[in-house]
Amino acid sequence: MKKKVKEWLRRYIPAEIFATIGALLGAGVIYWVTNNAIGAAYAGTIGENIGYYGFIVSRDLVVSRRRHKKNNKKFGFLGFVKNVRNLFIEFGPAEILDSLVVRPFAMFIFPIILGDFFLGILVGKIAADVVFYIPTIISYELRKKHFID
| Helices 117-146 and 103-114: angle between axes, nearest 10 degrees | 150
From the list 59, 45, 47, 82, the residue with the least C-alpha distance to 11 is: 59
Domain that holds residue 138: 2-146
Report yes or no: 52 and 15 within 8 Å, Cβ to Cβ.
yes
How many domains is the chain partitioned into structurally? Answer: 1
pLDDT of residue 148: 67
The tens digit of pLDDT for each residue in 13-24 reads 999 999 999 999
pLDDT of residue 121: 94
Percent of the chain at pLDDT exceeding 90: 85
Percent of the chain at pLDDT exceeding 70: 99
pLDDT of residue 127: 96
Banded model confidence at residue 52, pLDDT cuts 50, 70, 90: very high
Report yes or no: 108 and 38 within 8 Å, Cβ to Cβ.
yes
DSSP string, 108-119: HHHHHHHS-HHH
Q: Is 4 exposed, middle or buried (0-12, 13-18, 19+ CB in 10 A)?
A: exposed
**pTM listed for this prediction:** 0.88
The tens digit of pLDDT for each residue in 82-133 reads 999 999 999 999 999 998 999 999 999 999 999 999 999 999 999 999 999 9
pLDDT of residue 149: 61
DSSP state of 77: H
> Residue 1 above 90 pLDDT?
no
